[in-house]
């Protein structure tokens, strides 16, 4: 209360609060300095060692393609007083081209969207998130473009689809499962047992690469530079500081370090929803689909995942990017370099830090908020809406 106006027992909000925050800025800057206090020497040594191990390459290829897209999605659960509106979308956009574009053929959707209304339920968010990832995977799998950027990493869709199908602990009941069935039918004319196919189509497609915007992984540092204890930053920061322009790390299978290997080894999708009669069959199918990307076989023995990753630094002044690729690309360096160069050509640094289509698609996906607002208004204004005057309040959000 020391900053509070002395003539009043009540703070001038938010001004007083803001003043307090500003007062703390020097402390925050000090802490930040500590984190940025990365010595050049350890980084140099680390990079040197990786080079000696043959783990760092430089792009020599000139070949690239503009047949490139990025895909993203978004979802919302709008908690209204009487019900929840669920809304999800998955969308893809093309990158910068030299005039010619590939486009989307008639039978290959550039986007999917789906919406429904469910009674209040904690599991609703898990349902719509899982649906969003199914949409993203479908857009990625069905496009015709040579390079297709998935937003994030390969692991997240698996986690979210698993979460969707294992929401028993949050009382996901028949209505929840009916909504999922309805989504699959409306969107793809598919049924629940087809979900593994949707996942498989994307995870086995070499054209699909994953680019994560934020990563705290220390997979390489923990596995190949174990002795460099003085490097305390994450892999992405390390390579951002250490790599030169156009250098990239030799593609390695995910799960190089002990911790990450365990995580990739434990990956699973296990349906526990009683309302889904085919859940056992479904789980068997998921096991098969995930077998290739896990770091353990069905007997628990260690093995390589078919998902690889590389760190690539396209510009001297810019960051390094973690890019996940399929085994086929990892083992085909000319093709890998073509992909990397194609991604480089989509980066308009410094205005946009991620590849242009990834930035653009993010904006497109975020427009879902506007979509939800429109849906709500249209519902409230619909002449077909049958609701008693006294219950009209149920159409509004539970909070202002």
Partner 1 sequence: MSDKINFSKEIIDVIAKQDSTIGITGSPSTTLDIEIDITEDKKTERALGQMVFVMLNEDGKDVLVIGQIISVETQNRWHEDPSFKGVIKRHGKLPHLSGTADNRIATISVQACYALDANEPMGHILGTSPSTGENVKKMNNDVMKALVKKHEKHITYMGKVYGTDVDLPLWFKHFDKTNNDELGANDAYHIGVFGKTGSGKTVTASYMLLGYTKNKNNLSVLVLDPQGQFYNDKDLLPPRGQKFEDRVKASGMNFNKYEITKDVYLPGDKYELFGELLQNNKFLEEAFRPLYTEDKIEAAKNVIVDYLRGRSNKPGFNLGSITDSKKLLEEMLKRFLEVKDDEEKKIGFSKYVYGIFGTKETRTRLQSRIKSISENIDRQTGILSKWNNALYLFTQKKEDNTNKVSVDDIVDKIVNNNGNFVVLDLSPKKGEIENENLQALFVSIIESKIVEVGADLFAKGEKANCLIVLDEAHRFISKESSDPRIKEFTKEIIGSVRTTRKYGIGYMFITQTIESLDNEILNQMRIFSFGYGLTSGSELRKVSEVINNKSAVQLYKSFIDPSSNNRFPFMFFGPISPLSFTGSPLFMEVYGDISMFS
Task: Give the residue from 150, 155, 198, 208 showing the smallest Cα distance to 325.
Answer: 208
Question: What is the three-class DSSP state of 325?
Answer: strand
- Measured between alpha carbons, how far is 343 from 210 in angstroms, rounded to an integer? 11
Q: Judging by beta carbons within 10 Å of its beta carbon (0-12, 13-18, 19+), is residue 166 exposed, middle or buried?
A: buried
Of 11-19, 258-266, 302-310, 347-355, the window that binds partner 1 (rule: CB under 8 A) is 347-355
Query: What is the distance between the terminal CA atoms of the chain, rounded to a whole angstrom?
Result: 29
Which two structure tokens, joined as six digits, stand for 349?
């640094």
Query: Using CB under 8 A, which of 50, 55, 89, 93 touches partner 1?
Result: 93
Q: Is residue 94 near partner 1 by the rule CB under 8 A?
A: yes
Shortest gap between Cβ of 87 and partner 1 (angstroms)?
21
Q: Is residue 356 near partner 1 by the rule CB under 8 A?
A: yes
Residue placing its CB nearer to partner 1 in the complex, 271 or 365: 365
Residue placing its CB nearer to partner 1 in the complex, 95 or 242: 95
Query: Using CB under 8 A, which of 352, 369, 378, 394 touches partner 1?
Result: 352
Q: Is residue 97 near partner 1 by the rule CB under 8 A?
A: yes
Question: What is the three-class DSSP state of 323?
Answer: strand
Number of residues that bind partner 1 (CB under 8 A): 13
* Paired strand residues for 84: 79, 118
Residue placing its CB nearer to partner 1 in the complex, 318 or 328: 318
Give the contact letters, 43-82, x = binds to partner 1 (CB under 8 A), - = no.
----------------------------------------
Shortest gap between Cβ of 153 and partner 1 (angstroms)?
24
- Measured between alpha carbons, how far is 23 from 339 in angstroms, rounded to an integer? 47
Shortest gap between Cβ of 239 and partner 1 (angstroms)?
24
Residue placing its CB nearer to partner 1 in the complex, 69 or 131: 69
- b/e string for 32-45 if b means 16 or more Cβ within 10 A? eeeeeebeeebbeb
Q: Is residue 95 near partner 1 by the rule CB under 8 A?
A: yes
Question: Which sign does the torsion angle of CA 223, 224, 227, 229 carry?
Answer: negative
Q: Is residue 351 near partner 1 by the rule CB under 8 A?
A: yes
Task: Give the residue from 95, 88, 102 showing the smallest Cα distance to 142.
Answer: 102
Q: Is residue 348 near partner 1 by the rule CB under 8 A?
A: yes
* Paired strand residues for 57: 248
Shortest gap between Cβ of 363 and partner 1 (angstroms)?
8
Residue placing its CB nearer to partner 1 in the complex, 348 or 385: 348
Of 96-104, 115-123, 235-243, 254-262, the window that binds partner 1 (rule: CB under 8 A) is 96-104
Shortest gap between Cβ of 103 and partner 1 (angstroms)?
9
Shortest gap between Cβ of 377 and partner 1 (angstroms)?
12
Q: Is residue 359 near partner 1 by the rule CB under 8 A?
A: yes
Of 25-33, 171-179, 280-288, 346-354, the window that binds partner 1 (rule: CB under 8 A) is 346-354
Q: Is residue 101 near partner 1 by the rule CB under 8 A?
A: yes
Shortest gap between Cβ of 322 and partner 1 (angstroms)?
22
Task: Give the residue from 260, 267, 261 showing the smallest Cα distance to 290.
Answer: 267
Residue given tokens 């596995």 in the structure block: 223
Which uninterrupted H or E stretch holds 129? helix 124-142
Estimate the crossing angle of helix 124-142 against helix 195-203, to 10 degrees. Answer: 50
- Measured between alpha carbons, how far is 237 from 315 in angstroms, rounded to an integer? 14
Question: What is the three-class DSSP state of 357?
Answer: helix
Shortest gap between Cβ of 111 and partner 1 (angstroms)?
13
Residue given tokens 């043959």 in the structure block: 54
Which residues contact partner 1 by CB under 8 A?
A: 93-97, 101, 348, 350-352, 356, 359-360
């Amino acid at each position: 209360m020391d900053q509070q106006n002395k003539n009043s027992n009540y703070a001038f909000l938010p001004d007083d609060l803001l003043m307090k925050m500003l007062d703390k800025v020097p402390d925050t800057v000090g802490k930040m300095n500590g984190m940025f206090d990365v010595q050049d020497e350890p980084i140099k040594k680390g990079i040197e060692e990786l080079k000696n191990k043959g783990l760092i390459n430089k792009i020599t290829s000139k070949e690239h393609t503009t047949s490139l897209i990025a895909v993203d999605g978004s979802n919302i659960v709008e908690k209204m007083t009487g019900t929840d509106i669920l809304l999800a979308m998955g969308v893809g956009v093309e990158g910068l081209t030299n005039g010619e574009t590939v486009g989307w053929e008639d039978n290959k959707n550039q986007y999917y969207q789906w919406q429904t209304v469910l009674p209040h339920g904690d599991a609703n968010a898990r349902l719509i998130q899982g649906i969003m990832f199914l949409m993203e995977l479908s857009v990625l799998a069905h496009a015709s473009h040579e390079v297709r950027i998935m937003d994030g990493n390969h692991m997240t869709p698996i986690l979210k689809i698993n979460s969707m199908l294992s929401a028993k602990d949050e009382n996901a009941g028949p209505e929840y499962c009916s909504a999922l069935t309805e989504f699959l039918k409306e969107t793809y004319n598919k049924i629940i047992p087809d979900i593994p196919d949707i996942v498989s189509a994307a995870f086995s497609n070499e054209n699909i690469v994953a680019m994560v915007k934020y990563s705290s992984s220390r997979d390489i540092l923990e596995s190949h530079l174990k002795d460099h204890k003085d490097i305390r930053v994450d892999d992405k920061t390390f390579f951002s500081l250490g790599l030169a322009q156009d250098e990239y790390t030799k593609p390695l299978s995910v799960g190089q370090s002990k911790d990450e290997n365990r995580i990739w080894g434990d990956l699973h999708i296990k349906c526990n929803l009683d309302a889904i009669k085919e859940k056992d069959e479904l789980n068997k199918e998921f096991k098969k689909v995930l077998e290739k990307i896990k770091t353990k076989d069905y007997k628990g023995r260690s093995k390589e995942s078919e998902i690889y990753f590389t760190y690539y630094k396209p510009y001297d002044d810019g960051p390094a990017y973690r890019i996940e690729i399929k085994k086929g690309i990892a083992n085909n360096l000319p093709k890998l370099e073509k992909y990397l160069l194609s991604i480089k050509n989509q980066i308009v640094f410094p205005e946009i830090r991620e590849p242009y289509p990834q930035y653009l698609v993010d904006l497109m996906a975020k427009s879902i908020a506007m979509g939800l607002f429109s849906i709500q208004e249209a519902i409230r204004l619909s002449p077909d809406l049958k609701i008693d005057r006294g219950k009209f309040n149920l159409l509004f959000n539970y909070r202002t």
